[in-house]
Structures are given as structure tokens and as C-alpha cells.
Structure 1
Amino acid sequence: MRTTFNRRAFLRTAGISMALPYLESIHGKTEGDHPAPKRMVIIGLKLGILPDVLFPKEEGILNPSTPYLKILEDHLNDMTLFSGLSHANQTGRLSHSSELTWLTAAEHPGLDGFRNSISMDQVAAEQMGYRTRYPSLVLSSEGSASQSYNRNGVMIPAESSPSKLFSQLFLKGSPNEILQQRKQLEADKSILDGLLDQTKAMMKEANSADRTRLESYLDSVRHAEKNLVKAGAWLDRPKPNVRVSSPDDIRDKGRIEERIALMFDLIPLILETDSTRVINMGIQVDHGVIKMKGVHESHHSLSHHGQDPVKIQKLMKVESAILSQVSRLIHQLKRTKLSDRSLLDHTMLLCGSNLGNANNHDYRNLPIMVAGGGYRHGQFVVCSRKDQPLPLSNLFLSMLNNIGLKIPAFGASSGTLDWG
């Protein structure tokens, strides 16, 4: 049985080596067996995309009718563009609070009494991630903030260093590092054992309602203990051997396009080696002053353009650069073969934002693109009817179902979103 690796150990791992692709013989598959597993990649654009430069005027077949679709022209038959999707009640404590809940659908982010819920990527990781070394990877273009939240509503820190990520995934750790990882796992297990004993003792004096809550807590602790056992098993398994050099980090955060490119280059390698099947990467708000020809402002300040045509043109340069890297990533996934199909066919790629219009922090009519995953694509789908948006959770539920999780609901879903 294939298992996963504890995140705490993941953050400490160091170590180099070409990644072996997913091989049917290694995974016990023969011709006629189940197809290769499905993957999920999420790219969150926290400052949105100019809607008028992205969305076509009419619903229907996708064609390069807008500047941003022109950038994605080579992949329009492999993707679906949605409008009219949103989460309800996303006005929060801060103007950008909706980034907390883009993948969870929890309401009123950041206000008194708010508690986030589990993000869509982590639902997938819980159910399918333990067959790989890492249940999921959470990445960032800058800093550790992420849009991934565990079942307790706690944010999972992101990795923003391509060189550290490469080391954690593909470089063999020293014997001492492996020993320290094993000791940490044993310490974690000891803590959980103590929690189990204390909780069982409390059960004897608890009333019926508290006993139910404690049973649920015990189930969570037992689940965590099982995961630690699986994490330990990965310490004895060699990491994938890769003929790729470790990337050099770009320290200047203003070089946003190059930083995104370095991280995106690792995604096909990660998926091909089956190091994880769930990846979530955030394109952050704060990249300082953007270092790009003709642009000398921050991405954030340009997003608040106030309809200034000069600012809009500069913002388009930044957003075009980001979408060019998305296009490049899709190309890499298409050219990588897995079994008899492309890696993109086995990977569902979601690219979108928590903001429909960053200029006024509008969280409605979100820009959402889905590529690959075995769907029938090539359409622009307008989901709102009579100005009533459709829950974005419906799409998330459909995506979770697509990778084999037959769950009845997610977030604020009212059903699934089917198209094609």
C-alpha cells in the first residue's frame, strides 16, 4: 500500500537526483486495469483578472476573441471558462478577506466569530493523498500565506522557494536528517497516545452530548496516528531519481513572472513522479514593485486602477505575463505522456480568483478556468441566471466527484455543475 509523509517532516526535509514517471509496472498495473490516478492542480490569482479583457461577449464556443484568451489560444479546446460563479456573503474584516475563503466557501471571513472550514484541495488530499509521499503540496509565489485550510480551519503554510521544494522532493537526506525526522514522528505519536488516554478518561464522566463530541475527537486523533505510521514508512523509501538540476531561487520578489515560471516548471515533474496528486499554488498580492518593462508599480496598486487607462495598460502587462505562464504550464502538461494519454488528461487544473473585480474588491462573478481532467472543453459557460450567481461550491463538488470522491456536498453547494 502506498502512503504519505507528515507535513512537519516535509518542512524539514533536505537533500538531489531525473524523476521517474508514473510507471504502470511499478504501481502493479497491467493493460486493462484501472486507469492512471487523477490529479488536481489549483492556481489562485489573489488579485483577480480584468474581466473585460478576459470574458467574451457571448456564451458558447471559446475562441481568441479577447486579449487574454488570445494568450491561451493554443489551449482553448482543452479548457472551459466560467462566469457567474461566486460564494455568498464574502464581505469580511478586510478588503481582501475573501482570499481566505476562496476554496472553502465559509461566510463573513475574518469577522467576529469567524472560523474557516476545510478547503477543497484538502478534502481531496484527505481522501486520496495518502497513497503518495505527500498528501498535498501548498506553494506560493511569495511568502507563506496560502488558501489551503485543514479540517480545523487552520491555514497550511505555503512553500515559496523552488530550491527548497526541489530538495524536499528529490534530494536524499543525510542519515542524521532521516534520524531526526524519525525521532520527530515518534515524539508526535507519543503526544497523540497521551491525548488518547486523557480523552478516554474524560469519556467516563462526560454527559451524552460531550461524549459524542469526544468520540469525534478520538476519531480525529486515531486518524492522525495512522497518518504518522504511514509517514514513517516513507522514510525508508527512496525519493524519485531525477536528471534535473535544482533551480536557483530568485530573491527579488518584483520579478514575478520569473518566480512563477520556476515554480510552475516543477509541477509537471511532481505529478509525473507521483510525489503528490494535489497541488495548490497562490499568486500573491504583495510582490513589491514589479520588475517588468514598462511597469514600475506594485501589482496591488495597479489592480486599484480607478479606470485610469494608463494603469489598466500596465495591469494588463502584469496579468498577461501571469497568464502566459499558465499557458506554458498547460503546454507542459499536454506534452508529458502518461500511459496512452497526456498528463493534462489525468490532471484537473483550476485557475481563478476570489475577486471578480479587484478594483472595488467585488467577490462576485469570479473568473474561473478549468483545463484537462477528462472533461469536454472548448466552451465559455455563463452560470448566472437573472443576475443570480451560481455557487462556486457546485463546481468544486463536481471536481471532487471527478477525481473519484463521491461526496454529496461541499461548502455551500446546491448540487453539481455539469457542462459539455
Structure 2
Amino acid sequence: MHKPISRRTALRASGVALALPLLEAMNPAIAFEGLEQPKRMVLICNALGLYAPSLFPKSTGTGYSDTEYLKQLREHRSDFTLFSGLSHPDQNGKDPHDTEMTFLTAAINPGLGGFKNSISVDQVAATHLGHTTRFPSITLASNTQESQSYNSNGVMLPAETRPSRVFAKLFLAGSPDQQQRQRQRLAEGRSILDAVGDQTKTLNQQVSGGDRKQLDEYFAAIRTAEKELAASDAWLDRPKPAVKAEIPKDIAEPAELLGRIGELMNLIPLMLKTDSTRVVSLMIQADHGVPNIPGVQGEHHPLSHHGQDPSKIAQLNIIESGILSEFSALLTQLGQRSEHGERLLDHTAVLFGSNLGNANAHDPTNLPIILAGGGYQHGRYVAHDHNRNTPLSNLYVTLLQRMGVETDRFATSNGALNVT
């Protein structure tokens, strides 16, 4: 019979994993001249969808005619594929917009009782790469710190919203005092977890087999935390890359929707070119008030619930065309050739999509999905069954495999999506 122990004692003792020997720091990032370029992933979600009649062509294949929205991407036609008929199954949640939480995770029934989110696809890739780069991943959002990136415990990773702050993290060396404070924070993180290591043996003798399994899982998470601390410490001694770019200005007004999106997207090529990270996510959020865009008088969110009102649809088209124009500008930057003739876009899979296929009806099926770059064969519109959608997670499996993750499943997938 096992002696009962208090929850407080169990939690205090469960940090034992941090008494393990210090894990190895990751090797430094390398230059890529003459070497194979690393694979990269950029995931962008426009949380209010895209008006389907303005996006999807009537014909599929390579000979499709440009629609109103696709005209914004015309110069990149050979570099992207448009998909329809993709979605995550079982997305009926507590709130119609709860699918924002699951766009990158595919966890079912978001927001309902007992719901627990799962790891997002960007974090699977980031975990696989580890601290090969200074930052395993960068998470961005257009207005608030809410993001669509979730760790292995289903905990949301807060997003960065200020371009100047992101730029400083990536490229500006801190003062000696700032670096010392950072070292102190890392050391304190380790010391707190190390301090409970002596209770391991006693605790394991007191708990049942089922409890011991739970503790083992917790210890594994703590081991991961220790590795993160060690790797972060190692990067403090490596100089940040120098870039020929001015510190971006933060746009304080949420109504400057396109400006805020553009400033964040402008940072992505710099992140990838300097190999500061290989995994980036960006959430274009739902609430910015009335966008400061000529011809728009209503708020973006209410306009997405247009009720087939032609005036509201016209304003929505202006907003969404502007967002796609910013996406086009990102593809232009990624598509520029270096002095060695290479393009970041050829080694970077860029997914642009949404958690809603029809925002007017809060419908999470038939999602608008654009995949650009990544070395795939593009220039097509591929329509999957609109009544029996193909799992979007199938495409995620394909992206993970291209990133070097050895897997044939992710979340609700039932295979890998053939992109080429």
C-alpha cells in the first residue's frame, strides 16, 4: 500500500530531472556558401478567412484564370499552389472563432469541456531542429500576444507584436549589464530546478506505478527545459549577425492593419537569411477596429459577417486584397536572388491560409490554403472534395517531412499530401 503524499510535495519533488548532468550545447549555426541550404518553414494565418468567390478559380490545374485575389499574386504564379477542399475534422467548438487555437494543431472540438490543445506543427519542426539556430522558432502576431503556436504540453507560446523588439532580439547586441542579467536569469532557472533533485528516490518509492509514469513524463519535460537553458546560455557567447537594415518602427495604432502586417513580414527574410531561425509563424488577428484603408468604413470582423451585403463584401475585398498584397511583397523579398544565384523561397515553404473557410457562416471547412516555395512544383490550383475534405494535417505531414522530421502522421492526418 502506497503512503499518500501531498500534491505540494509531489510537485516540489517532481523537478528531480534537473539534477541530471548538463546536456550538450548545440553546435553553432554555419554559413551556407557552397553548402546545401537548410529547409525552412513560414506559416501565416489570416484569422478571418478569405472571401471564397474572390479567391478560387472556376477551373483547376495549371490553366486557371486569375481571380480578383489571385491578381495580387500574379507575378508569383509559378511559385505557389492554391488548394481548396482541405480542413481539420471535428472543429465544432464552444465559440465559432475557437478554431483560431487549432489552425496549427488540428486538435478536435476546440474550447469544449475537457479540451486540451496539442503541439502545433511549427513547434514539431522547431523541436526537431532544436538550437541549431539562435531561436528554434519565432512567433509573431499583428495585434496581441495571442498566437497559434503551442508546445508539447498544449500551452500557447506568446507572440511578438512589436517589430523593433523582434529586430533587437535578432540583431542588436545587448550591453554587458544586459548580458549579465540574462546569464543570471538562466542560472536562476537552473538552480531552482536543481534544488529539488534530492527527493527523486524517495518520491518514486512512495507513488504507484501509474503515478510513476506521470512523473516520468513530467521529468522528460523538465529535461527538455534544462536542455533549452543550456543551449540558450551557449548562444550568449556568439555574436548576433550584422544586417544592413534600419530598426523598424512600431506602428502603435491597430487600425493600421496593412502597415503592421507589412512591418512584421519584412522581418521574415532577415530572420531566414541570417539563419537566426528556420521556423516562423504569423497570425493576422481578427480585431483591429476599422482598418485605415481607403474605401473601408466598417470594422474588419463585422465585415467578414457580411450576410451577402454587396457593400460589405466590396469593403471586405479591399481589406483582403491588401493583405494578399502584403503577402505578395513577402514572396518578392524571398524570391530575390543572392549573389550566388540562390533564392530563399526555393528552400522555404511558405503557407498562407485561414482557420475559416467561410467567415460569414463561421464554417471551418474548405479552407483557403496557399503554399509557396519550398522546392515544390507549383503553378496550379488543386481542388480536393468540397464535401469530404482532405485533412489539412496531411499537408502538414508533407511540410514536416521536407524539414527532415521522420514522421508519417500529424494530429488528424491520414497520410501525406502529394504536392509535386
Do both share a fold (TM > 0.5)? yes
In 2, distance between residues paired with 1:62 and 1:138? Answer: 36
1:411 maps to 411
Residue 126 in structure 1 maps to residue 127 in structure 2: yes
Show structure 1 runs of 5+ residues with no match: 6-20, 26-30
Q: Distance in 2 between matches of 1:204 and 1:275?
A: 45
Offset at 1:304? 0.5
Q: Aligned AA for 2:388?
A: Q
Q: Which runs of 5+ in 2 are unaligned?
A: 1-23
Normalised by the size of structure 2, how large is the TM-score? 0.91
* Residues 174-233 of structure 1 deviation map (CA, whole Å, 9 limit, x = unaligned): 111111111111111122224544444322222222222222222221121112111101
Indicate conservation of the 8 Å contact 2:59/2:65, yes or no.
no
Aligned-partner Cα distance in 2 for 1:361–1:274 = 38
Q: Greater shift after overlay, 54-63 or 155-164?
A: 54-63
- Equivalence for 1:355: 356
TM-aligned CA distance change 1:4 to 1:195, over 3 Å: farther
Q: Is 1:144 the equivalent of 2:152?
A: no
State whether residues 139 and 282 of structure 1, in contact with CA within 8 Å, keep that contact through their aligned partners in structure 2: yes
Q: Deviations over 1:79-101 (max 9, x none)?
A: 11111111111111112001100
1:63/1:73 contact within 8 Å kept: no
Distance 2:77 2:373 in 1: 11
One-letter amino acid matched to 1:416:
A
The structure with the larger Rg is 2
**Alpha-carbon separation, structure 1, partners of 2:79 and 2:275:** 22
Alignment CA distance shift 1:248-1:213 (3 Å): same
Cα 1:340–1:389 shift into 2, 3 Å: same
* Contact 1:4–1:133 (Cα < 8 Å) also in 2: no
| RMSD of Structure 2 on Structure 1 (CA) | 1.9
Following the alignment from structure 1 to structure 2, what is the Cα–Cα distance between the partners of residues 199 and 73? 61
Structure 2 match to 1:206: 207
Q: Deviations over 1:107-147 (max 9, x none)?
A: 11111100000000000010114100001000011111110
Question: Quick check: 1:64–1:73 contact (8 Å CA) kept in 2?
Answer: no
Superposed displacement of residue 46, structure 1? 0.2
Aligned runs of 1:8-27 on 2, under 5 Å? 23-24=31-32
**Deviation digits for residues 280-319 of structure 1, max 9, x if unmatched?**
0010101111111111211101101000000000000000
1:106–1:346 distance in 2 versus 1, CA, 3 Å: same
Q: Which residue of 1 aligns with 2:163?
A: 162
Tell me the SS of whatever aligns to 2:367: coil
- Structure 1 residue 278 and structure 2 residue 286: aligned? no
Aligned to 1:398: 398
Q: Which moved more, 1:41-50 or 1:219-228?
A: 219-228
- Counterpart contact for 1:129–1:277, Cα < 8 Å: no
TM-score between the two structures when normalised by the length of structure 1: 0.91
Shift of 1:2: 7.5
Provide the rounded CA distance (Å) in 2 between the counterparts of 1:145 and 1:122. 16
**For residue 120 of structure 2, what is the amino acid of its counterpart?**
S
Please show how residues 21-420 of structure 1 align to structure 2 within 5 Å: 23-24=31-32, 31=34, 35-61=36-62, 63-337=64-338, 340-384=341-385, 387-420=387-420
Distance 1:48 1:62, change over 3 A: farther
AA of the residue aligned to 2:276? S
Cα gap change, 1:4 to 1:196, in 2 (>3 Å): farther
Residue 25 of structure 2 contacts residue 234 of structure 2 at CA under 8 Å; is this kept in 1? no
Q: 1:307 to 1:403 in 2, by over 3 A?
A: same
One-letter code aligned to 1:79: F
Aligned residue pairs: how many?
397
Please give the alpha-carbon distance, in whole angstroms, between the structure 2 residues aligned to 1:335 and 1:371: 14
1:345 is paired with a residue whose SS is helix
> What is the letter of the counterpart of residue 23 of structure 1?
A
Once structures 1 and 2 are overlaid, which stretch shifts more, 152-161 or 211-220? 211-220
Mapped to 1, the partners of 2:180 and 2:339 lie a distance apart of 35
